[in-house]
């Protein structure tokens, strides 16, 4: 099974979760600035909501996918506890790429909100979540 992990982060919160997921499934976490180099069965894609959407970098990554992706598994961090799912789902639908029903999201530290998050518990939960897709 071919697996990839891509993420976009501004403050480092989503990177922590991406690295936990990547470690759990035995691949390297890479930013969305690095396109997929070949077909993948599962793409773990992480981001955060910014101004009621995902970052332009995430949009460009999804629009630029030119390989076969079996399914995308969404994960996100957010100070406002919102998931990026609905934004990612819309972009993936345009590419006819399926999105897994399951997703992982956790609070992310932003100014005084959710200080210290994602924490060790969040990182462990993300790793356990990812393992469900490869076992």
pLDDT at 80: 66
pLDDT at residue 45, as a whole number: 98
pTM of this structure: 0.89
Q: Would you say 3 and 44 are in contact if contact means Cβ atoms under 8 Å apart?
A: yes
* Rounded average pLDDT over 42-58: 87
CATH of the domain at 116: 3.40.50.360
Q: What is the pLDDT of residue 12?
A: 85
Sheet holding 104-107, edge to edge: 29-31, 3-7, 40-47, 69-78, 104-107
| Number of structural domains the chain divides into | 1
pLDDT at residue 46 greater than cutoff 90: yes
Q: Which two tokens stand for residue 87?
A: 């934004």
Range of the domain at 25: 3-131
Tokens for 130, please give them: 């990812």
Question: What's the mean pLDDT when you consider all of the chain?
Answer: 89
First to last CA, the chain: 11
pLDDT digits (tens, 9 = 90+) for 23-45: 999 999 999 999 999 999 999 99
Strands in 1-135 per DSSP E: 3-7, 29-31, 40-47, 69-78, 104-107
Query: What is the per-residue pLDDT for 32?
Result: 97
| 77-104 tens-digit pLDDT | 876 657 888 899 999 999 999 999 999 9
Residue 111: what pLDDT? 55
């Amino acid at each position: 099974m071919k697996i990839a992990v891509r993420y976009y982060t501004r403050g480092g919160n989503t990177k922590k979760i991406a690295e936990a997921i990547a470690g759990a499934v035995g691949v390297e976490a890479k930013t969305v600035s690095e396109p997929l180099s070949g077909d993948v069965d599962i793409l773990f894609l992480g981001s955060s909501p910014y101004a009621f959407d995902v970052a332009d970098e995430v949009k460009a990554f999804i629009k630029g996918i030119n390989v076969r992706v079996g399914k995308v598994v969404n994960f996100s961090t957010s100070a406002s506890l919102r998931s990026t799912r609905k934004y990612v789902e819309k972009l993936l639908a345009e590419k006819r790429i399926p999105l897994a029903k399951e997703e992982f999201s956790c609070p992310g530290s932003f100014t005084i909100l959710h200080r210290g998050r994602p924490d060790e518990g969040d990182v462990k939960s993300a790793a356990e979540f990812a393992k469900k897709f490869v076992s």
